Amino acid sequence: MVVKILIFQLIFLAVTFPVAARSLARGTARLPTERSIKAAALARARERVLTTRPLALFYYSGDSLGMPSLQAHSDAITLLAPQCYELDGAGALHGKFSARALEVARGAGLPLMPLVTNSGFDRLAAHQLLQNAKAQARAATNLAEVAERDEYVGWQLDLEDIDPADESAYTRFTARVAGRLHHDQRLLSVAVVPRFSDRFPDSSKPGFHTSEWGAAYDFRGLGRIADFLVIMAYDQHTPLTPPGPIAAYDWVSAALDYAVRRMPPSKILLGVPFYGREWAETSGATTCHSLAYKDLKPFLEDPASERHWDDLWRTTWFVLQEGETQRTAWFDDARSLREKLALVPLYHLRGYAAWRLGAEDPEFWQSEGQ
């Protein structure tokens, strides 16, 4: 009897063990792998970026100025673009996103598309990169590998002060990077300086010239290659000009008029400034520096300060006389930003990109951000 029981048990084990083993193997196979988890997260990030209208991109710089805004208003952000990487002339990628900002962005579920610049907007470094096929291949590989490692949805190329003679080379480099990123299901955007004509130098009306800084961007070519472009419609007035708006309404409109005739409006984000500038003028000299909203305190609180609104340029400005120094500040406050952001639906644009978190008028979030 004992022998029969043992024989029966052996037969039972012989039959059931392979079945159990196969069942266990199938269950293990169904467990998500790290690769599949990352692929699913990338697909969700892509979907969010590609389908949200208007797309609200916000730039984040490496200092702490933007952290409170990032923490408080992440639900109003579609895409976060930290400025923290640089390419050198040999195609090496340098930089790192701060661990604290990364933690906050990940916790909020924000897709990340870092900017990559030519360090200090170095023209020579850009030229060396754009004229060296091996350096370009190295750059494309480095961008793809870091994006995969750090789970970025893609990159934004922000090479500036490119030699106008390198216009075609920059377009070819963009195509090389786009090909590599798109192969990996990632996205590529490009930041461009406004243009007002196809020629450089041109004969546009004063103040609306295509500058040397913007002459290297082929809007048609870049528009065909990239997933979207950011028209950096700011820095109209700088330390090199008399006081004036960072981005006058008519100037921004003219920049968009040019852009939408050369690429689909659905590929355009309107770049808007969250900052301003102050000019301090005396009889002997003029100095100029950038302003965050917090720097407007003297103009907002001093009874002697005059606050104005320019109906043509649709921008707020201030004048404060201190002895022999006249201080003039132009700043895109919430009212001014509302005027510019109204151009997004008017021109049927994809959305907007704001430079940069932490410098903004807090009222922006009440009127447009939420």
Dihedral pair phi/psi, residue 343, rounded to 5°: -70, -20
pLDDT reported for residue 31: 73
Residue 19's pLDDT band, with cuts at 50, 70 and 90, is very low
Given a contact cutoff of 8 angstroms between Cβ atoms, the answer to whether 275 and 357 are in contact is no
How far is the C-alpha of 117 from the C-alpha of 59, rounded, in Å?
13
Domain 36-275+333-369, CATH homologous superfamily name and number: Glycosidases (3.20.20.80)
Q: What is the CA radius of gyration of the chain?
A: 26
pLDDT tens across 132-180, in order? 999 999 999 999 999 999 999 999 999 999 999 999 999 999 999 999 9
Closest by alpha carbon to 353, among 276, 267, 286, 288? Answer: 267
pLDDT tens across 224-283, in order? 999 999 999 999 999 999 999 999 999 999 999 999 999 999 999 999 999 999 999 999
| Sign for the pseudo-dihedral over CA of 292, 293, 297, 300 | positive
pLDDT tens across 282-330, in order? 999 999 999 999 999 999 999 999 999 999 999 999 999 999 999 999 9
Given a contact cutoff of 8 angstroms between Cβ atoms, the answer to whether 320 and 298 are in contact is yes
Given a contact cutoff of 8 angstroms between Cβ atoms, the answer to whether 112 and 70 are in contact is no
The domain limits of the chain are 36-275+333-369
Given a contact cutoff of 8 angstroms between Cβ atoms, the answer to whether 87 and 129 are in contact is yes
Given a contact cutoff of 8 angstroms between Cβ atoms, the answer to whether 115 and 191 are in contact is yes
- Residue 306 in tokens: 């005059």
pLDDT reported for residue 323: 96
Q: How far apart are the first and last CA of the chain?
A: 80
Residue 369's pLDDT band, with cuts at 50, 70 and 90, is very low
How far is the C-alpha of 166 from the C-alpha of 164, rounded, in Å?
5
Given a contact cutoff of 8 angstroms between Cβ atoms, the answer to whether 78 and 48 are in contact is yes
How far is the C-alpha of 294 from the C-alpha of 102, rounded, in Å?
25
pLDDT reported for residue 64: 82
